[in-house]
Amino acid sequence: MFVLVNLKTYPCDPVEVAEAVRDVDRETEATLSVAPQAAHIERVAETGVETWAQHVDPIAHGSNTGGTLAETVADAGAVGTLINHSERRRRLADIDGAVRAADRADLETVVCANNPAQIGAAAALGPDRVAVEPPELIGTGTPVSTADPDIVAEAVSAAASVDDEVSVLCGAGITDGEDVLAAADLGAEGVLLASGVAKADDPREALEALVEPL
């Protein structure tokens, strides 16, 4: 299982969380990674944890003030990037451009989408992974795998019908190991989560509980 912890802009210590992710990753067969804010990527990557960007723009080198360039986050130490998170939605053409930009910089990609139909469209763009995350469940502590398991199963089918090499992550409301197992049972190959770790009093303890059943 692949576990990607998105720190969003939560008021946590990104290095502390990164060290916890790194240490738990070394103790489990799952692959754990973390996506800090862009300004923290280099500091987080220096801990040795697998580091992802939260976003890249569909741009190249040039006049793009305020843009997030794929090559820049790669130079800072990121190995992958989220694209089209529910809190940073983009048009399909921009998602496609961001995937191409990430490919150009040798970054892995996870394209997020709300539902199985959007998952199919996202998979057609050739990312490494897609993540299904109904926005109404994000941050609620209610996992989509429990609230509406059909969405996860249908997302897995939708991605496979387009490109069976694109794996599916389950996002929204993931908080503990039972949620991870439920996602796996529905065909997901990983999870995308945020507040369950980033807002935890003890991030390492939260991560250990998350991977313990695996």
Give pLDDT tens digits along the chain (214 positions).
Answer: 999 999 999 999 999 999 999 999 999 999 999 999 999 999 999 999 999 999 999 999 999 999 999 999 999 999 999 999 989 999 999 999 999 999 999 999 999 998 999 999 999 999 999 999 876 655 556 666 666 778 888 999 999 999 999 999 988 777 788 888 888 888 999 999 998 899 999 999 999 999 988 7
Q: Could you tell me the pTM of the whole model?
A: 0.93
What is d(CA 7, CA 9) in angstroms, rounded to the nearest whole number? 6
Q: State the pLDDT at residue 136.
A: 65
Rounded to whole angstroms, the Cα distance separating 204 from 214 reads: 16
pLDDT given at position 143: 60
Q: Under a CB-based contact definition with an 8 Å cutoff, are residues 114 and 134 in contact?
A: yes
Q: Cite the active site residues.
A: 85, 133
- CA 129/CA 56 separation, integer angstroms: 15
Note whether 79 and 68 are within 8 A (CB).
Answer: no
Dihedral angle of Cα 65, 69, 71, 76, to the nearest 10 degrees: 90
Say which DSSP state 40 is in.
Answer: G
In the prediction, which pLDDT does 152 show? 87
Residue type, 10: Y
Range 170-187 burial, b when 16+ CB lie within 10 A, else e: bbbbbbbeebbebbbebb
User: Are residues 110 and 80 in contact, defined by beta-carbon separation less than 8 angstroms?
Assistant: yes
